[in-house]
Amino acid sequence: MSMTIGELASRLRVTTRTLRHYEQLGLLMPEKSHPDGGYRRYGEPQLVRGMQIEQLKRTGLSLALIKRLLDGEEVAGHLLKRRRREIETAMAVHEQQLSAVDALLADHAELADPHLVTLAAGDALLVNLTCAQRAMDRTIRTGIQRMRRDIKQRDDVVCGSFSARFPLNIERASLPVEISVRVSSQTPGSVFEAAETAMKVLLIGDLTLLPLAYDLALTAVRERGLQPTGWAIERYLDLGRSPRTEVMIPIRPPVLVAGRE
């Protein structure tokens, strides 16, 4: 069997330009060729190798790696497993990006924008905990889970979003953390929380941006000449795949701002 470059290109569903590029890379050489490059002839081995190249291209491997594999410089199983790990990593990143896009779309593409809000007075259920700084995230999650379990057992409670309050200075050896959830009306065990003013930044998506959200909120407080109380509040509007977290810095003295939370 002998084929021209055009015939091989047609059988491989590629262009003759592609085959010439493969030849320049040493990836797929003609069986016979004229010294001045006037003609090229290909046989069955080139058809087989061409098919293998096109198969491996579908995995996203570079032509350089494909050449190393087909020339026996790489073990196919090892190379493909490595490629699989690369794809899995990329997919995980894309999943995170997709979640961030969906979360922003759900909130009408609301981006971080610090502004003062008035947190309305109301009744709330509280749990007071103490933890080390490195265990704060786990402590908050555990506290919220515990409160949810307790609330499910009570028919008299209609609750809103969960919040956590803790000191702005988290360098202490032991941190007090208050987990709370607002309830629709006074109920056994609830306390009354007074209204307060806070600088709020809404963070949608990636929670690794929480330190930046705090930096933004604190900067906005300082730029406006306001005095923070020394506490921070996180309100968890959604704890699912695309989290929505309000970062709030209460200020003193409370001031009335347009709109109520």
* pLDDT tens column, 62-85: 999 999 999 999 999 999 999 999
Residue 33 lies in a domain: yes
Residue 104 lies in a domain: no
Judge contact between 150 and 183, C-beta under 8 A.
no
Which of 2-6, 62-66, 129-133, 152-156 is least confident? Answer: 152-156
Can you read off the two tokens belonging to residue 95? 């999943």
Cα radius of gyration (the chain): 31
According to DSSP, the residues that pair with 191 across neighbouring strands are 124
The SS3 assignment for 247 reads strand
Residue 259 pLDDT exceeds 60:
no
Q: Are residues 124 and 235 in the same domain?
A: yes
pLDDT at 67: 96
Q: Are residues 124 and 220 in the same domain?
A: yes
Q: Are residues 54 and 132 in the same domain?
A: no
Q: Are residues 55 and 145 in the same domain?
A: no
Q: Are residues 63 and 174 in the same domain?
A: no
Rounded Cα–Cα distance for residues 225 and 209 (Å): 25
Q: Are residues 137 and 224 in the same domain?
A: yes
Residue 98 lies in a domain: no
Task: Return the ∠ at Cα 57 (arms to 36 and 90), rounded to 5°.
Answer: 140
Residue at a domain's end among 74, 89, 107: 74
Reported as a pLDDT band with limits 50, 70 and 90, residue 251 is very high
Residue 63 lies in a domain: yes
Q: Are residues 232 and 136 in the same domain?
A: yes
Residue 37 pLDDT exceeds 70:
no
Q: Percent of the chain, pLDDT > 70? A: 92
The SS3 assignment for 225 reads coil
* Tally of CB atoms within 10 A around 95: 11
pLDDT at 109: 61
Residue 44 sits in a domain of what CATH number? Answer: 1.10.1660.10
Judge contact between 232 and 166, C-beta under 8 A.
yes
Residue 246 lies in a domain: yes
Torsion of the alpha carbons at 249, 250, 253 and 259, rounded to the nearest 10: 100
For the chain, how far is it from start to end, CA to CA, in angstroms? 79
Rounded Cα–Cα distance for residues 242 and 101 (Å): 9
Reported as a pLDDT band with limits 50, 70 and 90, residue 108 is low
Q: Are residues 64 and 122 in the same domain?
A: no
Reported as a pLDDT band with limits 50, 70 and 90, residue 239 is low
Q: Are residues 228 and 144 in the same domain?
A: yes
Task: Return the ∠ at Cα 108 (arms to 206 and 195), rounded to 5°.
Answer: 75
Q: Please, what sign has the CA dihedral across residues 43, 44, 48, 51?
A: positive
pLDDT at 184: 82
In this predicted model, what pLDDT tens digit does every residue of 215-228 receive, in sequence order?
A: 999 999 999 999 99
The SS3 assignment for 73 reads coil
Question: 260: which DSSP letter?
Answer: B
Residue 261 pLDDT exceeds 80:
no
Give me the count of residues in the chain: 261
pLDDT (average), residues 15-33: 94
pLDDT at 240: 63
What residue numbers bound the domain in which 37 lies?
A: 5-74
Q: Are residues 122 and 188 in the same domain?
A: yes
Residue 86 lies in a domain: no
Residue 96 lies in a domain: no
pLDDT (average), residues 44-55: 95
Q: For 139-187, what is the HEC assignment? A: HHHHHHHHHHHHHHCCCCCCEEEEEEEEECCCCCCCEEEEEEEEECCCC
Q: Are residues 69 and 122 in the same domain?
A: no
For tokens 């947190």, name the residue: 119
Amino acid at 153: Q
Name which residue leads in pLDDT, 36 or 5: 5
Residue 180 pLDDT exceeds 70:
yes
Q: Are residues 47 and 125 in the same domain?
A: no
Give this prediction's pTM: 0.66
Residue 39 lies in a domain: yes
Residue 202 sits in a domain of what CATH number? Answer: 3.20.80.10
Q: How many domains does the chain have?
A: 2
